[in-house]
Structure 1
Amino acid sequence: MQSDERTDRSSVTLPQKSVSPSFGTVQLLVGIWRHLNRRRKLQLGAALLLMVASGLAEVGSLAAAVPFLAVLSDPEQLWQQPVVRSLSIGLGLESAQALLLPITLGFGIAAILAAAIRLVNVWINGRLAAAIGSDLSCEAYKRTLYQPYEVHMKRNSSEVITSITTQIGQTVRSIKSTLQLATSALVALAILVALLAVDWSVACTAISVFGLAYGLLSFKIRRRLVANNHLVVTASAEQLKALQEGLGAIRDVLLDGSQSTFLDIYQRADRPMRLRIAQNTFLGVFPRYAFEALGLLLIALLALLLSWKQKNSISLIPLLGTLALGSQRLLPALQQIYGNWVVIRSLRVSVEQVLKILSQPIPSHAFRATSQPLQLNHSIKCEDLCFRYSHHLPYVLKNMNLEIYRGERVGLIGSTGSGKSTLVDLLMGLLNPTSGKILIDGLDLNDSKEPSRLVAWRAAIAHVPQSIFLADSSIAENIAFGIPTESIDLAKVRHAAAQAQIASFIESTSDGYDTYVGERGVRLSGGQRQRIGIARALYKKASIILFDEATSALDSSTEEEVMAALEGLSKEITVIMIAHRLSTLACCDRVFELSTKSSIRATTPPDIL
């Protein structure tokens, strides 16, 4: 193990992310509890009652072992007990030998009942943990999707995906282990109470020996478990990042022959992660084998000591048998307590990551439904608009003033870094101005007192970016992106495709609009992907369409056809387009030229062409 750790440290160059030391394991579990709905909390309460029943059933089965062993070893001595004799006579039993069958049946029923309750408990705990995991996973995804665009810009997608998938799974394991730990703790407590009733000195000895052994071991390894999980969480994100980058750029990887580079990155994350998982697994199970032997030695020692004290060894059989049976039940319970504690402790960092996702605040306007998109009646106006991505970064846009009128075709040009795409994001309401205002028909778009205005404005906008995202689904589903399959209007899909000059290609394929485009549209050409993106914007029937280098992948003739199609759109639609190719701007009424000095100049296409 030590040699593996040395290899580990020398090969791992993963970025270490701080984990809040203020969160204890109990605090984390309480944090998860706060994110559960009322139904799950009630189910957990019912599960707790079942755990108590399981503990009582274990006591019952252990108590039933005393008369069973007594009737096997010395039935006459048992028959001499006044309570036993009176009960037996009441049941029609007239001799010591007649006790054997009913006591054996009672012991068997008690053992079966205890096992059945524990089995039901395990099944319910597993189902409940899975249900809680599903709730948390969906809630985490919801809170991630509803975050403002600025939050998504600052994130690494691989970390978010890892948190929602892998870390949620680890949190479910932690929840399941918590339930199992609670069950085992109640069972162990019940068994200890029963053993104390049988012989308090023997029970106290067992508690002291095993409690001290497990306690010292837990104290010794607690930091190692958290450190291992910290590396596992970090390595999981790096592993997913390597997969995304290697497979996402597979064309370049094949051309450059750089498979070994990405494989090396993957291996440097994967191997230490597997080793730490294996180490945590070992730390969780190895006491079982060591302490089982210790338990047998303890029972043998107690038997020897008791036999020295009492000359009648036969009378010791019920006592020793009960203690042996109790130990046989107690040791697995203690091991389960320890093993589940190891799991909970080792997954602490994963639970922290999930809590961070679940604690994301959702904007107040997130769930505001808008039945009617905001109509632009006059103009979009920027007044002294300023924006920077952070207070320690320079302004991307500063004191910008411009006005775009309803139905205009407006072009945006400028050198790289002049803020064209940032301006478009601001106009779409994805970013909030650092200062200044964006006025829609004289009303502040970002007025915090009117959050529904921003939602309605976004519903009126369609965006066609330079790089179109296409899902691995049909062409029709990609044109009507974000709409349930059963709600797609195929007539609107066909009309939008015709306007985007892509209908003839689609209808020439064997499956037509049901043709699958492959992951990220890999089965289509660049121009075809762009035109599907344009068709998507047209399907939405937006009153404002923003093109961010949307025609850059088209050849000249196809671009002319698309521009002609755009010209044929209703004059009620306002079009704003970013372009480097000046010919694209020929259809524009006005062109705004942005500079890296945050200045803006209005001109017309003839002036720049």
Structure 2
Amino acid sequence: MQAISLNLILEIWFHISKKRKRQFTFLIFCTLLSAILESLTVALIFPFIQALSDPNTLIDNQYVYSLNLFFNINNPNYFILPLTIILGSSSAFSGLINIFKIWFTEHLTALITSDISKECFKKVISQSYINFSKKNSSYFSSTIINEIRETQTVIFCTLRVISAFLLLFAVFATLLLLSFRLTIYSIFFVLVFYFFTGYFVNNSLLRNSRLITFSNKMLIKKLQESFGNIKDIILYSNQKNFLEDFSLIEKKLRNREAQNRFLGLFTKYLIESIGIIIISAITCYLLLDDSGNKNFAPILGVLAFGSLKVISPIQQIYNNWAFIKSREAGLKAVLEVLNLPIKRNIYKKQKLPFKNHDNNFIEIKNLQYRYSKNEKNILDIKNIKIKKGETIGIIGSTGSGKSTLIDLIMGLLIPNKGNIFVNGKDIFSSEKFLETWQKSISHVPQEIYLFDSSIKNNITCTSLKKEFQKDYFNEVLEIAMLKNFIASKEKNIETLIGERGSILSGGQRQRLGIARALYRNSEVLIFDEATSALDFKTESKIIKNINNFRKNLTIIMVAHRLNTLKNCDKVIKLDKGLIQTIFNKNEFNDLFSKGLI
């Protein structure tokens, strides 16, 4: 393996837990034991063939002579049985060790890959909203699904390469003891063959590796676009265009994979043919070199048997090297995710900054935000102050900055200038404070993302029974006006709602999203067009229920329908990123009733 592949594998090694490294050490021990038994089997072939062809020649063998003294065997013919037993036992035990080694290699590969996959997913979901948004979701999806599978192949191939090296070394050492010169010639030829083959196919493997990784990401992206746009595809009869794009990517991907498999396997059949030629040449050499001496048969038998034992691990090394090279780009993608920093603790519970404090408030001062340095500000807010327990409405035309302001308040976007204070402390003053602030918030967007699971799991966002608060759950259903709907279902709260809530109406999905937000029991509730699919009567009832739900609940509502905001303590009107007006409750209702807003 070249340096770049080795460096990538070593980098993966540093991400493996100590427990897996101990298991790897045990695998190396099993491999060493297997290699010793394989070399013993090769070494026993020589005296075994001698015993079969001419037992009298065994007397000259120093190892057999020692065995003779130990067992007091006088007749050379009597050596055949013990040699057969020893050879058979060695071979059988070696076979059992190899079977266990293969199972344990697969098992350890699965465990390591599972650990890496979990760590990658943890890194992705622990990123900030800004960092996550910089990548297309298909990139992360492809890395965790496809590239992790490629990494699993790399790990398995690496373990097999190590095993093959140890076996090759043991068998090679044994063959050198039996016939030094012929072994050197044979091994030299085989190594030169594989070296030059690897040199010539290296660039093709790397090029295919990059194209395979890119194609996998494009396939995921194309699938997401197709499934997300399925209504328009059906209405516009656009299936052909999407199918052609998919087929083009798919064909290129499968062709590159086929090329890599061929480059990894073709040498096996070529070297087998060459091996027969070499054995034939050695036979001729022995006949000419030892004319009239029939003792070359055992040596030839050992070399023939040993060559199988040597060529097999060399082919295994080359084949696995080719697989590793062909998956190098995927391995890089996995390492890129593994090396992402985690700035927040996803397990530890923090004390919330907006809870159990006197004079709680949110204050925005001189806030500016733009997408890039070369663009003008899309938001420029001088001052907003929100007290705990207030309900604040935000209105404005499309593109006025409403959703951007909400994202800034939630800490999902970082302002270019200015501050957002909670109880006098800037939410961006530290990662820890930002994290605890975000845990104080429940957010209900216009488009609710629902799991393909039960109503209960979608509201609680968990399938763990021990975390289920039944009484509070029922209260939330009452507030969101879901009681009657759920009661009409045969499986009640265990009713499956389909992918993205496919069996629900738009209003039911929004009510489910509201119930989810309330179940979190947060201090701040943010609605971003969260009731747009509800009729006026249902919307008014739910808003009233929420206001009666908790007196100290702070609510921030973005809405296009102005009557949604009639119970707000303040209504902020934005225009082109600026605050045009801040109405108090009476001013807003008076102007609304007169149709002046």
TM category (shorter chain) comes to: over 0.9
Q: How far apart, CA to CA, are the structure 2 residues paired with 1:54 and 1:558?
A: 73
Judge conservation of contact 1:74–1:314 (CA < 8 Å) in 2. Answer: no
SS in 2 for 1:234: helix
Offset at residue 312 of structure 1 (A): 3.0
Match of 1:385 among 359, 364, 367: 367
Q: After superposition, what is the alpha-carbon deviation per residue over 1:341-367, rounded to whole angstroms, capped at 9, x for unaligned?
A: 001111100100000000000015555
2:508 corresponds to? 528
Match of 2:419 among 414, 434, 437: 437
Q: Normalising by structure 2, report the TM-score.
A: 0.94
Q: After superposition, what is the alpha-carbon deviation per residue over 1:144-176, rounded to whole angstroms, capped at 9, x for unaligned?
A: 111111112222112111101111111011011
Report the more deviating stretch, 385-394 or 117-126.
Answer: 385-394
The question of 1:288 aligning with 2:268 is answered: yes
Judge conservation of contact 2:353–2:422 (CA < 8 Å) in 1. Answer: no
The share of aligned pairs that are identical, in percent, is: 34
Q: How far apart, CA to CA, are the structure 2 residues paired with 1:494 and 1:39?
A: 44
Give the aligned CA root-mean-square deviation in angstroms.
1.9
Change in Cα spacing, 1:332 to 1:306, as seen in structure 2 (3 Å) is same
Q: How does 1:310-389 map to 2 (within 5 A)?
A: 310-364=290-344, 366-370=346-350, 372=352, 374-375=354-355, 377-389=359-371
Match of 1:581 among 556, 561, 568: 561
Number of equivalent positions: 586
1:142 corresponds to? 122
Change in Cα spacing, 1:264 to 1:23, as seen in structure 2 (3 Å) is farther
1:379 partner amino acid: F
2:104 corresponds to? 124
2:286 corresponds to? 306
Q: After superposition, what is the alpha-carbon deviation per residue over 1:88-134, rounded to whole angstroms, capped at 9, x for unaligned?
A: 25313221111111111111122222222222222221111111001
1:90 corresponds to? 70
Report the more deviating stretch, 419-428 or 131-140.
Answer: 419-428
The question of 1:242 aligning with 2:250 is answered: no
Judge conservation of contact 1:382–1:437 (CA < 8 Å) in 2. Answer: yes
Q: How far apart, CA to CA, are the structure 2 residues paired with 1:31 and 1:237?
A: 23
Q: How does 1:439-458 map to 2 (within 5 A)?
A: 439-448=421-430, 451-458=431-438
Change in Cα spacing, 1:399 to 1:590, as seen in structure 2 (3 Å) is closer
Judge conservation of contact 1:387–1:397 (CA < 8 Å) in 2. Answer: yes
Q: How far apart, CA to CA, are the structure 2 residues paired with 1:180 and 1:378?
A: 62
Judge conservation of contact 2:444–2:530 (CA < 8 Å) in 1. Answer: yes
2:23 corresponds to? 43
2:140 corresponds to? 160
Judge conservation of contact 2:344–2:435 (CA < 8 Å) in 1. Answer: no
Q: How far apart, CA to CA, are the structure 2 residues paired with 1:287 and 1:81?
A: 38
Q: How far apart, CA to CA, are the structure 2 residues paired with 1:132 and 1:394?
A: 48
Q: How far apart, CA to CA, are the structure 2 residues paired with 1:556 and 1:264?
A: 45
1:68 partner amino acid: F
Judge conservation of contact 1:374–1:453 (CA < 8 Å) in 2. Answer: no
2:399 corresponds to? 417
Q: After superposition, what is the alpha-carbon deviation per residue over 1:161-213, rounded to whole angstroms, capped at 9, x for unaligned?
A: 11011111110110110010111111112222222212222111112211111
Q: How far apart, CA to CA, are the structure 1 residues paired with 2:61 and 2:456?
A: 85
2:52 partner amino acid: L
2:184 corresponds to? 204
Change in Cα spacing, 1:205 to 1:310, as seen in structure 2 (3 Å) is same
Change in Cα spacing, 1:560 to 1:101, as seen in structure 2 (3 Å) is same
Offset at residue 82 of structure 1 (A): 6.5
1:427 corresponds to? 409
Q: After superposition, what is the alpha-carbon deviation per residue over 1:395-419, rounded to whole angstroms, capped at 9, x for unaligned?
A: 3323532111222111111222222
Q: How far apart, CA to CA, are the structure 1 residues paired with 2:112 and 2:459?
A: 35
Q: How does 1:487-526 map to 2 (within 5 A)?
A: 487-526=467-506
2:379 corresponds to? 397
Match of 1:73 among 46, 49, 53: 53
Q: How far apart, CA to CA, are the structure 2 residues paired with 1:166 and 1:418?
A: 40
Judge conservation of contact 1:170–1:350 (CA < 8 Å) in 2. Answer: yes
Change in Cα spacing, 1:571 to 1:245, as seen in structure 2 (3 Å) is same
1:427 partner amino acid: I
- Please list every run of 5 or more consecutive structure 1 residues that lacks an aligned counterpart in the other structure: 1-21
Change in Cα spacing, 1:79 to 1:514, as seen in structure 2 (3 Å) is same
1:464 corresponds to? 444
2:572 corresponds to? 592
Report the more deviating stretch, 224-233 or 564-573.
Answer: 564-573
Offset at residue 313 of structure 1 (A): 4.3
1:404 partner amino acid: I
Offset at residue 138 of structure 1 (A): 0.4
Change in Cα spacing, 1:478 to 1:85, as seen in structure 2 (3 Å) is closer
SS in 1 for 2:487: helix
Offset at residue 513 of structure 1 (A): 1.4
Change in Cα spacing, 1:162 to 1:335, as seen in structure 2 (3 Å) is same
Report the more deviating stretch, 155-164 or 428-437.
Answer: 428-437
Q: How far apart, CA to CA, are the structure 2 residues paired with 1:95 and 1:396?
A: 101
Offset at residue 560 of structure 1 (A): 2.4
SS in 1 for 2:233: helix
SS in 2 for 1:436: strand
2:453 corresponds to? 473
Change in Cα spacing, 1:111 to 1:345, as seen in structure 2 (3 Å) is same
Judge conservation of contact 2:344–2:432 (CA < 8 Å) in 1. Answer: no
Match of 2:212 among 221, 232, 255: 232
Q: How far apart, CA to CA, are the structure 1 residues paired with 2:386 and 2:63?
A: 99
2:251 corresponds to? 271
Q: How far apart, CA to CA, are the structure 1 residues paired with 2:212 and 2:61?
A: 62
Q: After superposition, what is the alpha-carbon deviation per residue over 1:542-564, rounded to whole angstroms, capped at 9, x for unaligned?
A: 22110000011112222222233
1:13 corresponds to? none
Q: How far apart, CA to CA, are the structure 2 residues paired with 1:121 and 1:516?
A: 44
SS in 1 for 2:527: strand
Match of 1:256 among 214, 232, 236: 236
Q: How far apart, CA to CA, are the structure 1 residues paired with 2:366 and 2:66?
A: 99
Judge conservation of contact 1:474–1:516 (CA < 8 Å) in 2. Answer: yes
Q: How far apart, CA to CA, are the structure 2 residues paired with 1:123 and 1:390?
A: 54
Change in Cα spacing, 1:86 to 1:63, as seen in structure 2 (3 Å) is closer
Q: After superposition, what is the alpha-carbon deviation per residue over 1:521-554, rounded to whole angstroms, capped at 9, x for unaligned?
A: 0000000100111111122222211000001111
